[in-house]
A and B are shown apart, each in its own frame.
Chain A
Amino acid sequence: MSSGSHLSKELHDLIKSIGETRSKQEEDKIIIKEVQQLKTKLNEKNMPPKKVKEMLIRAIYIEMLGHDASFVHINAIHLTQSKNLALKRLGYLCCSLFLDNDSELLILLVATLQKDLASTNVHIVVNALTAVGKLISKTFVNALTEPVLKLLTHNTDIVRKKALMVMQIIRQLNQDCITEQDYDDRIRRGIQDKEPSVMGAAFNLYHEELKRGAVNKYKPLTGTFVSMLKQIIEHKLHKDYDYHRFPAPWLQIKLLQILTLLGANDLKVSEQIYEVLGSTLRRADDTTINIGYAVTYQCVKCISGIYPQQSLLEQAANSVSRFLKSDNNNLKYLGINALTQIVSISQKYVLEHQMTIVDCLESNDDTLKKETLELLFKMTNEQNCEVIIQKLIHFLKTSSDANFKKDLFVKISLLNEKHAPTQEWFIKTANTLFEFGSEFIDNDVRNNFFKLLIDNFNDIGTEFGEFITEIYSDLLKNELQDNILKIVCWVIGEIGSQIYDQDPNKLNELAQLVITKLDSQLESETTISWILTCLAKLQSARAFQMFDQTRTIFQKYMQSKNLDCQQRAIDFFTLAKFNAALKGSKFVTVDPKMSFLDAYVQQERQRGAQPYNPSLQVKAAALGSATEAPSLNFGPYSDNKYGGGAKTGTFGTEENKTTNQNPSAPTIAGPWDDTGYNQKQPAAPKPVIATPMAIGSTTGMGSNGSGQTTTTKTAMQAMGSGQMGVNTNQPQNTYIPPVRPLPPKEDPNLKEKQKLANQLFPSISQTQQQPQQLYLFIHQINLEKRNFCSVYSKTYECKSKSNLSTSNLLDIDDPLSAQQPVLGVPQVYVQQPYIITQQPVVPQQQLQPQQQWSQPPPQQTIPQQQIKSYMPANINVDQYEQLWDRYQNVKEVTLQSKIKSEQDFRKMIQAININIIEVIEQEIICAGANAENKSCVLLYGCYNLNGSLDLKINSTDPKDGEYILALIKRQFC
C-alpha cells in the first residue's frame, strides 16, 4: 500500500521529498515553502472536499515537523461538519492534533459534537466520542456530560467502551458532573458488560479510582475481579483477545494491578487472591515470550504488594531468579525492579543474586545501573551502609545527568543521616557529598545540616565541637566552592566561637583562616556576608575586644556597595559599641516572670480567655532540672520551686497550680514517660541562646534570611540525634545462614566483585529472618514502604526491632495468629463499650491545649461533652520516640476520612484534645494522656489529599488506642 497512489501528485511529491531529506535543514526548507503555498491556496473558493482533506494532511506534516500552521485550524473545524464520515473524522483528528485544550476555537466545536453524539448513525457517534475524548475541556464539560452518559447504554459495544472512557475524563475534569454513587453504578455496569472490550475499558476506571485511594469502597468486588482473571487465564475469552496465544495479557495485567491495590495490608482480601495469583503466575511462567514475562513481573509485584504469603513469595523469588539470570537486559531490568519489591518483605532473597547485582552495578547500561542503585538504597542497613554510600558517591562523581545526581544527592544524605556508623564518618561523608553535589545545596539542605550539627554539639559537647571545628578549619586551607565555604563559615562562627571562647589565640587563628578567603575568588557577594558574619561571631566570643585586622576589614566593608555587607559591617560596630552595656549593664533587666504582661492577662481573662495551665510544662521542666542538664537558665527554674514534681511523675499535680501565670516554662525536659521519671537520660538539649553571638543574630546579623539564625529544636532532630551514632539496637536472635556457593564463573575481576558483594551483603545474611519471623516483619515493611523517606521512619524501625527481640518465635508459628495485631478490624471498635457522650472527668480548663493560654479558645468541631477524658501531653519529638519504643500496643489503620488538609487534621486532634507535637508536610505526630489513669497515647497520622488517612496509635493501654480510633472513625469518616 505504500505507493501513495491514492494521493494527488502534489501531496505525493511533498511526502516523498520529506521522506528523502537527509537533514533537518533540508526538511525545514521544504516545509517553509509548503507553508507559503498553503497560505495562498487557502484563499481559493469552493475547493472540492478531497483538496481540503489533502490540505489538512499537509498541515499535519507542517505542525509535526515543528512549524506553525495555525492558519489552517479553522478549516479543520469546518471539516468536522462534513457529511462524509472519513472527512469528518479527519476534521476531528486535526482538531485534536492542532488545538490545545484551552483553545478558544474549541467552543465552535461544541454544537457539532452534541449533534454527532446524538446521531442515529453509530459510526458518527463513535467518531464524536473519540473526538470528545481528546478535545473535552473544563469550559464545556457540562454541555457534553449528558449526551455521553446516555451512550453508556447504547447497544453497540464500541460506543459503550468509548463512552466509559470519556466518562472517566469528565470526572477528572469536574467531579460535580457525575455523583460518586452514579459513577460507581456506571462503572460496575461496565465490568458486568457482556462484551470483554467494554469490561476491559472499565478496568481502567477502577484502577484509577483505586490509585486515588478509594480502596475500601471496592473491596467487596474482589471476588468479581478474581473470577474474571480466572476466566481470562483459562482461555474463556474469544481468541481474538489472545496475543501470541497468550490470553488477553493486558487485561490480566490491569486486573493484577487492581487486585494489588485491593489486597494491600488486608489478609482477608488477599486470601481471596492467593489462588488465582498462583495459577496466573504459573501459566505466565510457562511461556518464554515477552508478554509472558510482563505478566510474570506483574504477578511478582502483586505478590509483594498484598499481604505476604510464603509459598507465593517463593514462587515469585524463583521467577525473579530467572529474570536476573537472563542475558537480556530488559529482563534483568525487570528482575532488579522485582527484587526491589521483594526486598521490602524479606532481604534473604537478595543473597542468591549478589553477584548479579554487582554485575549490574558495573553494567554499561545506565538505566540498569539506576535501578540497581534503587535496590541498594532499599537494602541499606548499618552494616553495609559504608560500602553502599561509597558506591553511590562514586556515581555522583561520575554521572553527568543532573536529575540522576539530584536523586543520588538526596538518597545519600538520607542514608548518611540514617545509618552513618560514626560522627566522624558522617561529617566526612557529608563533606564529600557537598563537594561533588554542591549545586544541590540549597537553604533547606544547609539548614538541615546545621540543625544536625548543632543538635549533636548540644548533646555531646566540647569534644564534638573541637572535632568539627578542626575538620572545617582544615577545609579552609583548600580552594572551596562558595556553597561549601558558607557551611564552613557557619560552623566556625557558630561552634568554633563557643568552643574557644577562652582561647584568644585559637580564635585569632580561626579568624585569620577565614580572612584569607575574603581575598579569594568568590562566586557571589552573599558569600562575603557569610564570612563577615563568621568573623563577627568570632569577635563576639571575646566581647569584641581584639583583632585589629578584623576591625580594619569591617571598616572597609562599611563602604561596600553591597548593601548587605555594609549593613553587616555597621551592625558589627554597633554591637561592639554596646556589647559591654549588653553584657553587664544594670539598664537591662530581665523580668523572667514577665510581670509586665499581668495586666493584659488579667484583662483577657476578664473577657473570658482561658487561664494558662502550665502544670505539664512545669512538670517537664522540673524533670529537666533534676538531671543537672545544662538547660535554659532564665531564673525561675533554679529556685527549685518545682523540683518536687519529679517524684510523682504524673500529670496535673495540684502543687503546680500556683504557677499559672508563668508562661515561659519551656517544653524541654529530661526523661519522661507515663510512669514518670525513672531513668537516667542523656543531657537535655542545651539552648544556644545564651551564647554571645545570639545577640548578633537577633539584632540583624542574620538579616539576609539565609538561615544563619541560631538553631532550635525541631523535627529535624528526629533525624539527627540518635541516628548519627552507632546503633547498637540490633536484633539479638539473628541467625547465620549456610554460606551459599558463588556462581562458578570465570571472571578476572571475580575476586574484587566477590569482595564488594561480601561487603554489600554480609549484614543481610546476619539479620536474615526465619520464614516464621516474616509475619513479624510485615508490619515493619508496610511502614517502611510508606515512610521510607519519612523523618519518622526511625521511630517505627526501633519499634519493629524491639518487637523482634521480645517476641517468642514459637508463639507465631501459625501465620493467622500473627496477623491479629497488624490488622485494624473496624467492627471491633463499634462494639466497644465506651460511651462517647460521657462527661469529662477532668475540669474543662484542664482540657485546653496549653498553647491557648493567651488566645481565645478555638472553634471546636465537636461539642465539649462528647470528648472523653483526654488531655494534651507536652513532650518533644525525642521523648515521643522513646515512648514509642517503650509501648507495645501499636494500632495501625488506613481510613477513608474527610480529612484533606492540615487544618482538618488539627481540628480532629483538637476534638480528641490531645497535643500536636510536630507537623511535617502531611505527617503529624501528637500525644495525649488519659485523664483518668494518666496512661499515655501517642498518635502518628499521615493524611493524603484523597482523604485516606494512615494512622498509627501507640499507647500504654491498648484500650485507649481503640477508643481514639473509634472516636476518629465516628467523627471524621
Chain B
Amino acid sequence: MINFILMVNKQGQTRLAQYFQFLSVKERMTLEGELIRKCLSRSETQCSFLEHRGYKIIYRRYASLYFIIGMDLEEENEMAYLEFIHNLVETLDKYFENVCELDIMFNIEKAHYILEEMVMNGQVVETNKTQILAPIHVLDKAKDE
C-alpha cells in the first residue's frame, strides 16, 4: 500500500504531505528531510526508485517540485506508481489550469481533496480525471452559494 504522498520543493520545503499511516510531526519532518536530500542527490539519468527506511520510494520532479510516494516494499509495480504521479499532476493541471507550485500553496486544501479522491486506504481507487474532479467541482459550487 501507499504509506505517504509528498510534494517537496528543491529547497526541501514541504508543500503538501498526506500520510496513510500515522507518523508524529517530528517523524514526518525527519523523513521528509532525508527523502528530499536523497532525491536531490540523484541525477536525471538515475532511476526514479529507491529504498529508504523500509519504504519503497518513487519520485518524479516537475520544475522545482518533487512528487514523492512512499510504499510498502512488497508493492510490485514501480512504473505504475511513477505514472500515477504523472496522472496526479495532470489532474491538478486540469483543475488549476497550468498548475504551479503556488497554486498548490494557495489551494492546499483542494490539492488534498484531489488526492483523497484518488487514493483511499493507501490504494489507488480512481484514475479517471472526470470522476476525480466531479466532487471537487461540487464543493466549489457549494462555496459560492
Contacts and interface: CB of A to CB of B under 8 A. Distances in A.
A1 B107 contact: yes
A333 B49 contact: yes
Interface string B72-91: 00001111101110110000
B37 interface: no
Contacts of A67: 25
Contacts of A973: none
Interface string B12-25: 11101110001001
Given A24-B12, A367-B49, A85 B138 contact: yes
A64 B130 contact: no
A367 B135 contact: no
A15 B47 contact: no
Contacts of B26: 66
Contacts of A68: 25
Contacts of A293: 79
Contact of A333 (B12, B47, B131): B47
A57 B113 CA distance: 13
Interface in A107-136: 123, 126, 130, 133-134
Contacts of B101: 19
A1 B97 contact: yes
A123 B135 contact: yes
Contacts of B53: 403
B48 interface: yes
B125 A367 contact: no
A72 interface: no
A158 B12 CA distance: 36
Given A250-B84, A293-B79, A332 B47 contact: yes
A201 to B, nearest CB: 5
B79 A330 contact: yes
**B112, B117, B125 interface centre (most CB from chain A within 10 Å):** B125
B109 A90 contact: yes
A21 B13 contact: yes
A365 B46 contact: yes
A243 interface: yes
Contact of B121 (A19, A165, A332): A165
Nearest to B19: A97
B125 A200 contact: yes
Interface string B107-145: 111001100110011011111111100110011101101
B29 interface: yes
B79 A64 contact: no
B107 A298 contact: no
Contacts, number: 182
Nearest to A65: B14
B50 A367 contact: yes
A332 B140 CA distance: 44
Interface in A60-110: 60-61, 63-68, 84-86, 89-90, 93, 97, 100-101
Contacts of B138: 85, 123
Contact of B120 (A19, A23, A133, A332): A133
Nearest to B58: A330
A243 B87 contact: yes
A169 interface: yes
Nearest to A70: B25
Given A165-B121, A241-B127, A61 B142 contact: no
B62 interface: no
A367 B107 contact: no
Contact of B134 (A100, A158, A370, A403): A158
Contacts of B51: 367, 370, 403
Contact of B17 (A19, A64, A168, A201): A64
Contacts of B18: 97
A12 B106 CA distance: 7
A200 B126 CA distance: 8
A334 B79 contact: yes
A66 B28 contact: yes
Interface string A1-34: 1111011000010010011011110010000000
Interface residues of B, number: 66
A368 B13 contact: no
Contacts of B87: 243
Given A24-B12, A297-B77, A60 B108 contact: yes
A353 interface: no
B46 A126 contact: no
B40 interface: no
Contact of A243 (B79, B109, B127): B127
Contacts of A708: none
B82 A290 contact: yes
Residue of A86, A133, A158 with most chain B CB atoms under a 10 A cut-off? A86
B109 A93 contact: yes
A531 B118 CA distance: 62
B105 A253 contact: no
A247 to B, nearest CB: 11
B63 to A, nearest CB: 13
Q: Which of B18, B82, B130, B135 has most chain A Cβ within 10 Å?
A: B135
A619 interface: no
B108 A61 contact: yes
A68 B28 CA distance: 12
Nearest to B138: A123
Interface in A332-375: 332-334, 364-368, 370
A66 B29 contact: yes
B23 to A, nearest CB: 9
B126 A240 contact: no
Contact of B143 (A84, A253, A301): A84
Contacts of A3: 106
Contacts of B17: 64
A249 interface: yes
Contacts of A97: 18, 112
A329 interface: yes
Given A64-B14, A93-B109, A158-B134, 16 more contacts: A2-B102, A4-B102, A19-B102, A86-B140, A123-B135, A123-B138, A134-B116, A162-B120, A200-B126, A240-B131, A249-B80, A249-B127, A291-B79, A294-B82, A366-B50, A367-B47
Closest 7 CB pairs of A and B: A85-B142, A294-B79, A4-B106, A329-B47, A66-B29, A2-B102, A294-B80
10 contacts: A2-B106, A23-B11, A162-B125, A166-B120, A201-B126, A249-B80, A290-B83, A291-B79, A291-B80, A368-B46
Interface of B: 11-14, 16-18, 22, 25-26, 28-29, 42, 45-51, 53-54, 76-80, 82-84, 86-87, 96-97, 100-103, 105-109, 112-113, 116-117, 120-121, 123-131, 134-135, 138-140, 142-143, 145
